Amino acid sequence: MGSQGPDQGFIYKLVPLFDDSLNLGALSHEDAMAGCIAVALKRAALFGRAPVVHDLRMALTIFGFLDPDAPADLVAKREQWFVGLGHGHHYGERRALADRVSPSVLSGTPSVLEADYRRDWASNLTALD
């Protein structure tokens, strides 16, 4: 199961930095951020540190929330995967979402991830059910 990184709560200071650039579609802010926070914290824990802005930026990029022209098939998938994640009793679902992103993707750089997203967004995810 690994270990959590330190000072995970700092992620909540980073969330407002992206509020003006989010493209949520039909999702609520709470649902989108809950899922992306889980992915961002997974990345921070891989490096054994507190979350930084790049962790959250990468999570938002993976799911197209920073792309005003996100592919329609990605938007449809994320509306399935993220709905309800903002509720506290959906920890298992947030964990499953984070598990869709492999450590090898999360250990890369933001610029590589952005290029992979542009080339083939699905390549950043391990399961697309």
What is the per-residue pLDDT across 56-82, written as a single tens digit (0 to 9) for each?
999 999 999 999 999 999 999 999 999
CB atoms within 10 A of CB 107: 10
Distances (CA, A) of 64 to 44, 57, 82: 20, 10, 12
User: Using CB atoms within 10 A of its CB, is residue 27 exposed (0-12), middle (13-18) or buried (19+)?
Assistant: buried
Residue 24, both tokens: 């949520």
Query: What pLDDT is attached to residue 68?
Result: 96
- The pLDDT, as a whole number, for residue 121 is 94
Mean pLDDT by 10 residues, the chain (129 residues): 72 93 94 96 92 96 96 94 90 92 92 94 83
